[in-house]
A and B are shown apart, each in its own frame.
Chain A
């Protein structure tokens, strides 16, 4: 049974070239409208099975929020239809619809009414909501006296206690403190166990891997992937890179007596895919030129994750690795037999130094990258291999 069936839905926004909201302007223009159509969502079909958890990935402006708003009914699609089976609650904006002058109790009733719930049913779940929000002693206070945390808690409590069959989750998990986020995640897992359908919209790839069993990727309003989370995240990353501005200012040409003139990051499956999988081998090469003799060279290789964290760094004394003193030009290749990293794009920095004469040194930073794509469902930063399990009863 499918919880959500979207058939050929698209959304076109009509952008006013000359945004004047006045009748006068319209009359002056005599109906000659200056509009530009903007396709926020190209026609797509989407089926979400009951009880599954689906992620929608996309960068800003990819159309993911438009899709979510269409699914929730906030926006109506320009073409196509969406069929929803069962009650839908969305965590798009917690506490939207709260009126500051009214008490928590009154707001719970109105908030639930926005979800189409009848008074009698709210009476029944009211105590659960208050208990979940942990606001029993403030429930008859006007919500304008609430802290923002209490506000969000009450909104969340309403949304998850109204017994939704389909739950739409936006970036909402990014707000709130850690305790609240953990509670949200707990609740989502609980919902999954109960066989409810969940749609998560995010650009946090880790969240998708953590909770989803399927994900789609939107790019400029187009559906570019519909796959298991691992693959979808990879497609998402590739598109994200495609949209980033290349490079910035060009690096100055290498100068000095010792120069790194090039580098290469290679792996065995380069012909078929750009990325490596966790635990696969990687070969890093660096090309140098030198005007002097470098007798005891050391090569430093530092690998950073995208957020600047050093993932690993090695200082190789090339002599002890059997590399002869460097000539006028050459290429040093370092094979890593296994890279036990999970997802991400990693940057490789190089430093080549003469240990005897440390003023002879060359750097190359931030210019070489490699991708790791984790097809499995392990999470975190390191790929750890699980051996044979043992179980001894008693």
Chain B
């Protein structure tokens, strides 16, 4: 420890309101904490389990088996149907894990929030971070499966994947901030979310194809892009188009017969939405943050 204190210590300002930039700067200053919390969450979750990370594979694999079985019995599937499902499932697992854990990020850490000062936004963001770690591990496992079964991906679309993940991450970050804040004021949020997630799963073209939904909407007088109003759909169809590798199976159309730029355009729209949501999320979080310690 140094014997004297310098006069050049950094200046910190605590006020009722801060700009988004100030918030981001503060979160950046606490990036070590963010990483530490992610590490902690992973470590604690697998502390006493022998199989460790393999458990994070178990759930999607299990779902995959059930859906493949059910749809093959119903005769609704098509060639390489498990791979189609997996494309949507890895994305959906990221979405549902993030949302269901982040909604409780503040409320389950009452003891910290009321005793220690740090940018609270780090906590919902850490839940997103640990969900992302699982997502990466699942993606690696998925990639191994693809290599083993010698599935042909469409390399022309593969470059869209990192962009899709980045945009999705930003969007999920804003939702994590919003949900964790709202849940402090109304604990019903976490229960409503559970229901919403079930509905959302079926609202996304995971176990069926995008084109099916699109055609249904057209038949009922809606525009063909109506399914894209679901923000997660833009991301899921990118995964399907790139990894499943084709918009068609035989003469059955699964996805819009468009080039990579159409898919990129959808991601662009989602990006704009995500940026707006993130700004709103930060602002709302900032407004509420100062009172968390007292409300909890």
Using CB atoms and an 8 Å cutoff, list the residues of chain A in contact with chain B: 1, 13-14, 21-24, 26, 50-51, 69-88, 90, 92-93, 96-97, 99, 101-102, 106, 109-110, 113-119, 125, 128, 161, 163, 165, 194-196
Cβ-defined partner of A74 (8 Å) among B1, B29, B293: B293
| Beyond A83-B11, A87-B10, A116-B29, 16 additional pairs, beta carbon < 8 A | A75-B294, A78-B16, A80-B16, A90-B117, A92-B116, A97-B112, A102-B40, A113-B30, A116-B32, A118-B32, A128-B1, A165-B5, A165-B9, A194-B4, A194-B5, A195-B4
Query: Which A residues are CB-close (under 8 A) to B32?
Result: 113, 116-119
Q: How many B residues touch the partner, as a band? A: 35 or more
> B33, A74: Cβ atoms under 8 Å?
no
* Assembled-state Cα–Cα distance A51/B4 (Å): 10
Cβ-defined partner of B118 (8 Å) among A78, A80, A116, A128: A116
> B12, A83: Cβ atoms under 8 Å?
yes
Cβ-defined partner of A84 (8 Å) among B11, B47, B115: B11
Query: Which B residues are CB-close (under 8 A) to A73?
Result: 12, 14, 117-118
B7 at the interface (CB under 8 A from A): yes
Cβ-defined partner of A99 (8 Å) among B1, B40, B185: B40
Query: Which A residues are CB-close (under 8 A) to B294?
Result: 13, 75
> B117, A74: Cβ atoms under 8 Å?
yes
**B184 closest partner in A (C-beta):** A21
Cβ-defined partner of B43 (8 Å) among A1, A102, A113, A114: A102
* Assembled-state Cα–Cα distance A87/B30 (Å): 13
B187 at the interface (CB under 8 A from A): yes
> A99, B44: Cβ atoms under 8 Å?
yes
* Assembled-state Cα–Cα distance A119/B30 (Å): 11
Query: Mask for B6-48, Cβ within 8 A of A = 1, else 0?
Result: 0101111111100000000000011011001100100110010
Pull 29 A–B residue pairs with CB atoms less than 8 Å apart, ordered by A.
Answer: A1-B7, A13-B291, A24-B188, A50-B5, A69-B293, A73-B12, A73-B14, A74-B113, A75-B290, A76-B16, A76-B289, A77-B290, A80-B15, A82-B14, A84-B11, A86-B10, A97-B115, A101-B44, A109-B36, A110-B33, A110-B36, A113-B33, A117-B32, A118-B32, A128-B1, A163-B2, A165-B9, A195-B4, A195-B5
> B118, A114: Cβ atoms under 8 Å?
yes
Query: Which B residues are CB-close (under 8 A) to A116?
Result: 29-30, 32-33, 118
B186 at the interface (CB under 8 A from A): yes
Known interface pairs A85-B9, A96-B112, A96-B115. Does A113 touch B290 (Cβ–Cβ under 8 Å)? Answer: no
> A22, B186: Cβ atoms under 8 Å?
yes
**B290 closest partner in A (C-beta):** A76
> B116, A96: Cβ atoms under 8 Å?
yes
Cβ-defined partner of A81 (8 Å) among B14, B43, B44, B291: B14
> B116, A93: Cβ atoms under 8 Å?
yes
> A86, B5: Cβ atoms under 8 Å?
yes
Of the listed residues A23, A51, A72, the one surrounded by the most CB atoms of chain B closer than 10 A to its CB is: A23
A190 to chain B, nearest CB (A): 9
* Assembled-state Cα–Cα distance A110/B36 (Å): 6
A124 to chain B, nearest CB (A): 10
* Assembled-state Cα–Cα distance A22/B43 (Å): 34
* Assembled-state Cα–Cα distance A94/B114 (Å): 13
* Assembled-state Cα–Cα distance A22/B183 (Å): 10
> B116, A97: Cβ atoms under 8 Å?
yes
> B187, A22: Cβ atoms under 8 Å?
yes
* Assembled-state Cα–Cα distance A267/B44 (Å): 67
> A21, B118: Cβ atoms under 8 Å?
no
Using CB atoms and an 8 Å cutoff, list the residues of chain B in contact with chain A: 1-5, 7, 9-16, 29-30, 32-33, 36-37, 40, 43-44, 47, 111-118, 185-189, 192, 289-291, 293-294
* Assembled-state Cα–Cα distance A83/B116 (Å): 18
Query: Which A residues are CB-close (under 8 A) to B112?
Result: 96-97, 114
Cβ-defined partner of B115 (8 Å) among A78, A93, A102, A163: A93
Query: Which B residues are CB-close (under 8 A) to A195?
Result: 4-5
Query: Which B residues are CB-close (under 8 A) to A90?
Result: 116-117
* Assembled-state Cα–Cα distance A113/B2 (Å): 20
Q: Which 5 A-B pairs have the closest CB atoms?
A: A76-B290, A86-B9, A73-B117, A96-B115, A113-B33
Query: Which B residues are CB-close (under 8 A) to A93?
Result: 115-116
* Assembled-state Cα–Cα distance A125/B3 (Å): 14
Query: Which A residues are CB-close (under 8 A) to B3?
Result: 194
A347 to chain B, nearest CB (A): 39
* Assembled-state Cα–Cα distance A85/B13 (Å): 9
Query: Which A residues are CB-close (under 8 A) to B10?
Result: 85-87
Query: Which A residues are CB-close (under 8 A) to B192?
Result: 23
Query: Which A residues are CB-close (under 8 A) to B43?
Result: 101-102, 106
A276 to chain B, nearest CB (A): 41
Query: Which B residues are CB-close (under 8 A) to A118?
Result: 32
* Assembled-state Cα–Cα distance A256/B115 (Å): 59
* Assembled-state Cα–Cα distance A79/B3 (Å): 36
Query: Which B residues are CB-close (under 8 A) to A92?
Result: 115-116
A310 to chain B, nearest CB (A): 41
Query: Which A residues are CB-close (under 8 A) to B15?
Result: 76-77, 80-82
> A110, B40: Cβ atoms under 8 Å?
yes
Query: Which A residues are CB-close (under 8 A) to B47?
Result: 101
Of the listed residues B3, B16, B37, the one surrounded by the most CB atoms of chain A closer than 10 A to its CB is: B16
**A6 closest partner in B (C-beta):** B14
Query: Which B residues are CB-close (under 8 A) to A117?
Result: 32
A248 to chain B, nearest CB (A): 34
Query: Which B residues are CB-close (under 8 A) to A83?
Result: 11-14
> A106, B13: Cβ atoms under 8 Å?
no
* Assembled-state Cα–Cα distance A77/B195 (Å): 37
> A196, B5: Cβ atoms under 8 Å?
yes
* Assembled-state Cα–Cα distance A109/B15 (Å): 28
**A120 closest partner in B (C-beta):** B32
Query: Which B residues are CB-close (under 8 A) to A97?
Result: 112, 115-116
